[in-house]
A and B are shown apart, each in its own frame.
Chain A
Amino acid sequence: MAIPAFGKAYADEILLPAGAAYVGLSFFVAFMLNMLPLTGWVLMIRPDFVAVLLLYWAIQHPRKVGFTPIFFIGLAMDVTDGSLFGQHALAYCVLMAAGVAWHRRVSLFGIQGQMLHVLGMLLVAQLIVLAVAKVAGNAFPGWWYFLPSLSGCLIWPVVCQIVTSPLRPRVNSEEL
């Protein structure tokens, strides 16, 4: 079963170049989404929007993101989340490296294959954070801890569509 709207189209598309301002804006929006004051089960299943967006840029446009800005975004995320300083920074750097290292491989797949890859990468990043937290003496919070990875993988097609759409060249059907 293939979802028609997505499919392998990405690999063949010619997109407009993404400006640094556009990349920055997308991260700003994702950061704001992460800061939403959610509670209860919504918070439990909330995907890490910054992580998913980071994977999008690392996989689709690996030259557009660098480690240094990602590291600082991670630190800012740590402050707003009240987590240990460097926890998100570490996770984002790992995600970034995984995305860039496998960007050719992942973009060969259809959207479902991409989602599986994204799920794997998000899970590995969460496992690393969990390991660090364990060493720092925290208890395992429960299996729901991994739900954001699952929801992150589920929103992958949506994120791809939304972030790519302004980069598609406008086709004027009236023009000859």
Chain B
Amino acid sequence: MEYSPPPFFKRGPNLVTRLTLFSLLSLVLLFADARFQYMDDIRGVVGVILYPFQEIVHTPARIGRGMMNYVSLQSTLRTENTRLREEAFVNAGLLQKQQALVAENENLRELLNLRPRFEPSSQVASILFAARDPFVRQVVVDKGATDGVMRGAPVIDTLGLIGQVHRVYPWASEVALITDREQVVPVQVVRNGLRAVIFGLGYDGALEVRFMPVNADIEKGDLLVTSGIDGLYPSGLPVAFVDSVERNAAYPFARITCRPASGVGSHSHVMVLGSTESYPERPIAPDQAETDRRERN
């Protein structure tokens, strides 16, 4: 006779079965997210649902900061004010010079028939918090899709490039720092215009220039700025200073470590740059060009 326990004792599938099932499900999600970025829509939805709670959690910190501002000493304020005035004075001088240079540059570009330099729009955002996951170098800022932030937009602070918008939510966005693993920025050595590509290593305060020949003219202390050839980062933003150059003839490439120029992780405000330059159409493939020229001849 078939005997089964009364429903009172039924507890669903075995614990191991359930664990296996859910582990497999999360592994599939992990794989889908890591390899194909399939999950961004779902992330967006969950992010929107969680936004009000995030705001609630941030309120005490914000109030605390407000109170600290309120009770700050007059002497501190006065020193800061004096310092800021001096800075503004110095900056005004630089700005005046720069305006003249910009005008001159535009004139020269016109004379040479070059495309005008691109000036991206920008907006200031404040950093809400650093991503808590130990495996990523990201910060979350308080400007999102509703403020016109686009995925891939460069983010800078007062000292240089800090990263790139990685995910956009309606009211916030995640910025992957240049130190994030496999974050790649095309750069140029200011001293001699040498172009290179700089890679994030996945931990704070270190970047690496890869695929530079051993005899490349790059020295300790060189400033690397964005070269602007990728059509993503506007040219001329400071990215990193070369920290050490290890030239070992046994390897084809020099080992060049750098430190970020910007205060990655030490600022509360950043600037999200706007849409990127519209580039001319890609040139046709070389073999096509070859045949065209032959036909013309």
Main secondary structure of the interface of A (DSSP, over half): helix
**Which one of A7-15, A33-41, A162-170 contacts B?**
A33-41
Whole-angstrom distance between the alpha carbons of A79 and B53 in the complex?
Answer: 13
Query: Among the listed B18, B46, B47, B53, which residue makes an inter-chain contact with A67, where contact means beta carbons less than 8 Å apart?
Result: B18
Whole-angstrom distance between the alpha carbons of A4 and B26 in the complex?
Answer: 41
Residues A138 and B15 in contact in the complex (CB < 8 Å), given A35-B57, A79-B43: no
Indicate whether A157 reaches chain B with its CB closer than 8 angstroms: no
The size of the chain A interface, using a CB distance under 8 A, is 41
**Which one of B125-133, B157-165, B254-262 contacts A?**
B125-133
Distance (whole angstroms) from the CB of A8 to the closest CB of chain B:
26
Indicate if the CB atoms of B133 and A139 lie closer than 8 Å.
no
Q: What string of 1s and 0s marks CB contacts (under 8 Å) between B189-214 and chain A?
A: 00000000000011100000000000
Closest A residue, CB atoms, query B133: A83
Indicate whether B25 reaches chain A with its CB closer than 8 angstroms: yes
**Which one of B28-36, B229-237, B243-251 contacts A?**
B28-36
Indicate if the CB atoms of B29 and A85 lie closer than 8 Å.
yes
Tell which of B18, B29, B30, B140 has the most Cβ of chain A within 10 Å. B30
Q: Which chain A residues lie closer than 8 Å to B117 at the CB level?
A: none
Indicate whether A23 reaches chain B with its CB closer than 8 angstroms: no
Indicate whether B103 reaches chain A with its CB closer than 8 angstroms: no
Indicate if the CB atoms of B30 and A38 lie closer than 8 Å.
no
Indicate if the CB atoms of A136 and B174 lie closer than 8 Å.
no
Which residues of chain B in 220-243 are interfacial with respect to chain A, using CB atoms and an 8 Å cutoff? none
Indicate whether B23 reaches chain A with its CB closer than 8 angstroms: yes
Distance (whole angstroms) from the CB of A29 to the closest CB of chain B:
11
Q: Which chain B residues lie closer than 8 Å to A39 at the CB level?
A: 129-130, 265
Indicate whether B42 reaches chain A with its CB closer than 8 angstroms: yes
Indicate whether A30 reaches chain B with its CB closer than 8 angstroms: no
Q: What string of 1s and 0s marks CB contacts (under 8 Å) between B133-159 and chain A?
A: 111101010000000000000000000
Q: Which chain B residues lie closer than 8 Å to A110 at the CB level?
A: none
Query: Among the listed B16, B27, B39, B136, which residue makes an inter-chain contact with A82, where contact means beta carbons less than 8 Å apart?
Result: B136
Residues A139 and B202 in contact in the complex (CB < 8 Å), given A37-B61, A93-B19, A97-B19: yes
Distance (whole angstroms) from the CB of A145 to the closest CB of chain B:
5
Distance (whole angstroms) from the CB of A26 to the closest CB of chain B:
15
Whole-angstrom distance between the alpha carbons of A165 and B48 in the complex?
Answer: 34
Indicate if the CB atoms of B181 and A76 lie closer than 8 Å.
no
Query: Among the listed B27, B46, B54, which residue makes an inter-chain contact with A90, where contact means beta carbons less than 8 Å apart?
Result: B27
Closest B residue, CB atoms, query A74: B26
Indicate whether A87 reaches chain B with its CB closer than 8 angstroms: yes
Indicate whether B1 reaches chain A with its CB closer than 8 angstroms: no
Indicate if the CB atoms of A94 and B25 lie closer than 8 Å.
no
Indicate if the CB atoms of A75 and B46 lie closer than 8 Å.
yes
Distance (whole angstroms) from the CB of A32 to the closest CB of chain B:
5
Indicate if the CB atoms of A141 and B135 lie closer than 8 Å.
yes
Query: Among the listed A32, A37, A81, A93, which residue makes an inter-chain contact with B23, where contact means beta carbons less than 8 Å apart?
Result: A93
Closest A residue, CB atoms, query B18: A67
User: Can you show 23 pairs from A to B with CB atoms below 8 A apart?
Assistant: A31-B53, A32-B56, A35-B50, A39-B265, A79-B43, A82-B131, A82-B132, A82-B136, A82-B138, A83-B135, A83-B136, A84-B135, A85-B32, A86-B30, A86-B33, A90-B27, A90-B30, A132-B27, A138-B135, A138-B181, A138-B202, A139-B203, A141-B202
Enumerate the 10 nearest inter-chain pairs by beta-carbon distance, A residue then B residue, closest first. A86-B29, A83-B133, A37-B129, A82-B131, A86-B26, A85-B33, A90-B26, A97-B19, A86-B30, A85-B39
